[in-house]
Amino acid sequence: MEQHPEAKEDVDGFFMLKDGDFYDPFGFYFDVNGIDEEGGSYDNQGYYRLGDNRPLLMAKEEIEKLNLNGAFDEDGFYILKDGDFYDPLGYYFDKHGFDEHGGRYDDQGYYIPPSEAAPIIERQPALTKEEILKLQPEGKFDDDGFYLLKDGDYFDPLGYYFNSDGQDANGGRYDDVGYYVPGKPRDKSLKPLTKAEITAFEGKYNEYGFYYLTSGGFFDPFGYKFDENGLDAVGGLFEDGVYLDPDEEY
């Protein structure tokens, strides 16, 4: 890093310069707008975000010509009736918030490329290979440990089921590079149980990794409990095998 006699190191190891530009703890330079030479920046939580270098795909006028009966919000996103949308660069995102590559926007409005989304969530192992074979004996394991089923659905190496659209019960998916991209987080008031805690209740797994209780109700593959009506404690439910928040239309 180039030495600047007037630079002052803050408590997080950033070297602040007099005009507001700075060097981060790794020695990379950021201009007065907080942008490095690659277009990246630090968000309000102190996480480095890759620069959104995607080219403009469709202008606003081109999106309007599609006649999709949507509406632009104040941030330039074109929102459709089912919750899917086009972002300000003209890229399409499905109702679960993913583009065709598995990228998404976070809660601060930053675009998250698929490869960066992988470390956001840590998943505990769900079903073992032996358990999967008992539930779905007609499939086969590939070289990467994915258990492939005849309709295009599969179990990943951790034992989570993914439907033929490539989504797990939480709306997560794998991108083209093989990174797991998590779905929308659940309500913080919901507390999932571990596999050991779940199987202490009398019940059994179905072919998709949901644990159905003899007394009624079930646990989904992520350990969240649902009553006999298929609702969790905040009113969320499943549609086509994917979890929907209570504020989503169903």
Mean pLDDT of all residues in the chain?
Answer: 84
Backbone angles phi, psi at 65, to 5 degrees: -70, -15
Residues 6+ positions from 229 with CB-CB distance below 8 Å: none
Highest-pLDDT range among 104-118, 179-193, 203-217:
203-217
Tokens matching residue 182: 């998590």
Query: Would you say residue 217 lies in a domain?
Result: yes
Q: CA–CA separation, 99 vs 175, rounded Å?
A: 10
Query: 31: pLDDT confidence band, cut at 50, 70 and 90?
Result: confident
Q: CA–CA separation, 246 vs 50, rounded Å?
A: 32
Query: How many domains does the structure of the chain reveal?
Result: 4
Average pLDDT score over residue span 124-143? 91
Of 117-121, 149-153, 240-244, the least confident: 117-121
Query: 3: pLDDT confidence band, cut at 50, 70 and 90?
Result: low
The secondary structure of residue 104, as a DSSP letter, is E
Q: Is residue 111 domain-shared with residue 64, that is, in the same domain? A: yes
Closest to 109 measured CA to CA, from 21, 43, 187: 43
Higher-confidence position of 55 and 65: 65
| Side-by-side strand order, sheet with 225-226 | 203-205, 211-213, 218-219, 225-226
Of all residues in the chain, the percent with pLDDT exceeding 90 is: 39
Query: Would you say residue 22 lies in a domain?
Result: yes
Compute CA distances 43 → 105, 132, 133, 203, 211, whole Å: 13, 41, 44, 45, 39
**Domain termination residue (choose one: 77, 93, 119):** 119
**Domain termination residue (choose one: 69, 100, 119):** 119
Average pLDDT score over residue span 85-111? 82
Q: Is residue 67 domain-shared with residue 105, that is, in the same domain? A: yes
Query: Would you say residue 187 lies in a domain?
Result: no
Query: Would you say residue 208 lies in a domain?
Result: yes
Query: 177: pLDDT confidence band, cut at 50, 70 and 90?
Result: low
Alpha carbon distance, N-terminus to C-terminus of the chain: 54
Q: Is residue 47 domain-shared with residue 77, that is, in the same domain? A: no
**H or E segment and range at residue 131:** helix 129-135
Query: Would you say residue 124 lies in a domain?
Result: no
The answer, yes or no, to whether residue 115 has pLDDT greater than 70, is no
Of 101-105, 113-117, 202-206, 245-249, the least confident: 113-117
Q: Is residue 2 domain-shared with residue 24, that is, in the same domain? A: yes
The secondary structure of residue 193, as a DSSP letter, is P
Of 5-9, 140-144, 203-207, the least confident: 5-9
Average pLDDT score over residue span 217-231? 93
Radius of gyration of the chain (CA): 22
The answer, yes or no, to whether residue 15 has pLDDT greater than 80, is yes
Q: Is residue 167 domain-shared with residue 200, that is, in the same domain? A: no
Query: Would you say residue 227 lies in a domain?
Result: yes
Of 27-31, 167-171, 184-188, the least confident: 184-188
Of all residues in the chain, the percent with pLDDT exceeding 70 is: 88
Query: Would you say residue 189 lies in a domain?
Result: no
Residues 6+ positions from 243 with CB-CB distance below 8 Å: 169, 170, 171, 183, 184, 186, 220, 236, 237
Predicted local confidence at residue 86, as pLDDT: 95
Higher-confidence position of 4 and 164: 164
Q: Is residue 5 domain-shared with residue 39, that is, in the same domain? A: yes
| Side-by-side strand order, sheet with 161-162 | 140-141, 147-148, 154-155, 161-162
Q: Is residue 35 domain-shared with residue 6, that is, in the same domain? A: yes
Predicted local confidence at residue 4, as pLDDT: 62
Predicted local confidence at residue 38, as pLDDT: 65
Q: Which residue has the tokens 């598995």?
A: 102
CB burial of residue 147 (10 Å; 0-12, 13-18, 19+): buried
Of 32-36, 39-43, 206-210, 215-219, the least confident: 39-43
Tokens matching residue 221: 């593959």
Domain containing 240 equals 195-244
Compute CA distances 100 → 54, 93, 211, 222, 229, whole Å: 13, 7, 31, 24, 33
Query: Would you say residue 249 lies in a domain?
Result: no
**Domain termination residue (choose one: 96, 119, 142):** 119
